Amino acid sequence: MARSLVIKVTAGADAPERCNQAFTVAAAALASGVPVSLWLTGESSWFALPGRAKEFTLAEAAPLEDLLAAVLAAGRVTLCTQCAARRGITVDDVIDGVRIAGAPTFVEEVLGEGVQALVY
């Protein structure tokens, strides 16, 4: 069985390098044929909203908007239920393809056979 990655990104514009690293690793893994599930939590929750990734910039880094599009096209993107609620984000607000799910779903994913979990 092939390994897969579950990547939880907790950082957003508050820690741009850490945030971009998570998205970069997710996109690189997908490009290598590795199944990826990217979880948006904490300040990265805002990137589930249309246009927010486009506003993010980091010198010498791939545009976050492009990295997110790559993950949406070939992987799975999940917004944390509690993080969304704390920010007033609903299922009607998020980019097409982003689901909202909570800790039980995260735990189920990371405990799957052949799964590697990373937290940024």
CATH number at residue 70: 3.40.1260.10
| Burial state string for 84-102 with b = 16 or more CB within 10 A and e = fewer than 16 | beebebeeeebbeebebbe
What percent of the chain lies above the pLDDT cut of 70? Answer: 99
User: What tokens were used for 63?
Assistant: 């545009």
Q: The whole model's pTM is what?
A: 0.96
Query: Residue 60's domain spans which residues?
Result: 4-119
Tens digits of residue pLDDT in 15-67: 999 999 999 999 999 999 999 999 999 999 999 999 999 999 999 999 999 99
Q: What is the 3-class SS of 68-85, one letter each residue?
A: HHHHHHHCEEEEEHHHHH
Mean pLDDT over 82-110 rounds to: 98
Instruction: Give the CA distances from residue 2 to residues 36, 37, 70, 75, 118, in Å, rounded to whole numbers and listed in that order.
Output: 12, 14, 20, 15, 17
User: How many domains does the chain divide into?
Assistant: 1
Let me know if 51 is exposed, middle or buried by CB neighbors in 10 A (0-12, 13-18, 19+).
exposed
